[in-house]
Amino acid sequence: MPDLQCPCGRKISEASEFHLLFLKKELNEIDVLCPNDSCYLRELGYIRFDVVENKAKFKEASFYPPFVTWNSSQLGKGEAQDALKDMLRDIVRKQINWSKISTEKSEAVAPSSPSVTGTPAEQQ
């Protein structure tokens, strides 16, 4: 598989190089971030999933157009599409701990103990 490249210049050889951020828990979305901490794009794609019976189930994954277009111009359309699909496949299959995602999601939806007790006026 050819190396992908972020428009910031960072080359990406393996799926494990991407940073994954599970910040949008209420949207069931994992952000795929550039490994370069000073990247001006930062967010290169996303992975969406559903939670069915407390289990995360993959729904879709995609890279955003700037990342796709850049790699298409560098590698050629066909080679870039194949490399991008392979990279997303590796992220989804090998880099994400789906059982941990399910646990974190169920805890976020129904925490075992309330994170806030009382109204703000009562807490002062």
Residues 9-62 have pLDDT tens digits of 999 999 999 999 998 888 899 999 999 999 999 999 999 999 888 888 999 999
Tell me which residue of 39, 56, 53 sits closest to 101, measured CA to CA: 56
Backbone angles phi, psi at 118, to 5 degrees: 80, 175
Tell me which residue of 58, 75, 105 sits closest to 2, measured CA to CA: 75
pTM for the full model?
Answer: 0.81
Predicted local distance difference test score (pLDDT) of residue 122: 46
Instruction: List Cβ neighbours of 3 (8 Å cut-off, separation of 6 or more).
Output: 11, 12, 13
Predicted local distance difference test score (pLDDT) of residue 100: 87
Which stretch of 30-34, 75-79, 93-97, 115-119 has the lowest confidence by average pLDDT?
115-119
Give the CA diameter of the chain.
62
Predicted local distance difference test score (pLDDT) of residue 116: 40
